[in-house]
Every structure is written in structure tokens, then in C-alpha cells.
Amino acid sequence: MSGSSEDDRLLIERYLAGDPSAVRTLDEWLEVVLREDFRSLREDWEDLRQEIRARIVRNFSLGAFKGHSALRTYIHRISRNVAIDFSRRAYRRREIRVNPSDPHSPLAMAGPSSLGGVLAKDLLDQILARISQDDRLLLRLVFELHYSYEEVGRELGIPEGTVKSRMSRCKDRVLKLRRELAMRE
């Protein structure tokens, strides 16, 4: 290892040993992500910090940091992923509390309210009718139920990496279908 890689390795060792300076450095890096990208979750920042720190310790303990990127970039990525997962879980909790039989609930009031909404719904229905049942399930878990890729993997019994590659291919198929349907009109 050379230069920053050696510095990163030493910082990780110091962090795992509880060195206050190392902890402060990594906390500053994760704070940047919270301040810049997740202000809407401000009330939950302390919980988020704890989840992020736990993930960092777990990853460091497992030797997951391979040095393919700067340690700061790695910490930013972990922070963002944990915050996104946290946000999705919070969204699902709010969604469960909504009573669809209440005429004033967002679910009861949902639906296309403009010509653009009607056309978008029609296009979506056409696309969903042309993709496989597996692709529909994957899209529902990710976009409707807001599952993280890790949660989708657990639900389907497949590795998270497989979920990511399947999702990428699914998105490609959906975009291709959208273009084909747009050209017909």
C-alpha cells in the first residue's frame, strides 16, 4: 500500500480502536452527507448516525473496505445508502398508517388529476402488460413498496448483487419499451 491507502488503513485501525480523532474525522465525513442530501430527515439524524456508525464498524470489521476508492468516498457511500434505506423504511411506516377508506387520505385521493397523469398511467399500464411477471414484481418491490435492494434480496432469496443487476436489466427493458411505444404514436 502506498500514500493515502496506508493512511486509510491506519485511520480504520484507529477508528476500530475508538481513537477520538479518527471517530471525529469519520463523523465529519458522514455529517456532510446528512447536511447536503438528507436535511428532510433532520429529526432522525441521531438514529441515522448510529445506523451509519454500526454499518461502518461492521464493514471495517469484515474487511469490506478494499481501497478501490478513497476512504472518505467509501464513508460517503455507506452514509448515503444507510440514509436511503432509512428513508424508505420511514416512507413505508407512514404509508401503513394511512387509512385507504378515509376519503381524505392520500391513497383515496390518489390518481391522475390531469391529462398528463392519464397519459402517463396509460403508458405505464402498456409497459407493465408487456414485461415479465418477475420484472413486475421487482418494480413493485422497489418503486411501490420502497424496498432496498438488500430487502428485495431477502424477500426473493437472492443476493443483493443479483437484485442490482436484475434491476438494471429491468430498467433497460422498460426504457426500451417506452421508446418503442412512443414511436408507435
Residue 141 lies in domain? 111-184
**pLDDT tens, residue by residue, 163-175:** 999 999 999 999 8
DSSP 136: H
pLDDT in tens, 144-158: 888 888 888 988 889
Q: What is the pLDDT of residue 4?
A: 63
Same domain, 164 and 84: no
Does the reported pTM lie above 0.85?
no
Q: What is the DSSP string of 139-184?
A: HIIIIIS---HHHHHHHHTS-HHHHHHHHHHHHHHHHHHHHHHHHH
> For the residues of 23-54, what is the DSSP string, one character each?
HHHHHHHHHHHHHHH-GGGGGGHHHHHHHHHH
Q: Which amino acid is at 46?
A: E
Mean pLDDT of the chain: 82
* Sequence-distant (≥ 6) Cβ neighbours of residue 107 within 8 angstroms: 98, 100
| Mean local confidence (pLDDT), 100-106 | 44
Tell whether 103 is covered by a domain. Answer: no
Local confidence band at 48 (pLDDT 50, 70, 90 cut-offs) = confident
- In this predicted structure, the answer to whether residue 182 has a pLDDT above a threshold of 90 is no
Q: In terms of pLDDT, which residue wins out, 59 or 39?
A: 59
Domain assignment present for residue 104? The answer is no
Domain shared by 70 and 138, yes or no = no
81 or 89, higher pLDDT: 81
What CATH number does residue 22 fall under?
1.10.1740.10
What CATH number did the domain enclosing 145 receive? Answer: 1.10.10.10
Residue 128 to residue 182: CA distance in whole angstroms: 15
Instruction: Tell me the residue type at 35.
Output: R
Q: What is the DSSP letter of 39?
A: G
Residue 56 near residue 8 (C-beta atoms within 8 A): no
- Higher per-residue pLDDT: 19 or 1: 19
pLDDT value of residue 25 = 94
Domain end call among 73, 97, 121: 97
Same domain? 35 vs 87: yes
Q: Percent of the chain at pLDDT above 70? A: 82
**What's the alpha-carbon Rg for the chain, to the nearest Å?**
21
Whether residues 52 and 79 fall in one domain: yes
Q: Do 15 and 79 belong together in one domain? A: yes
> Rounded to the nearest 5°, which phi and psi values hold at 99?
-95, 110
Number of compact structural domains in the chain: 2
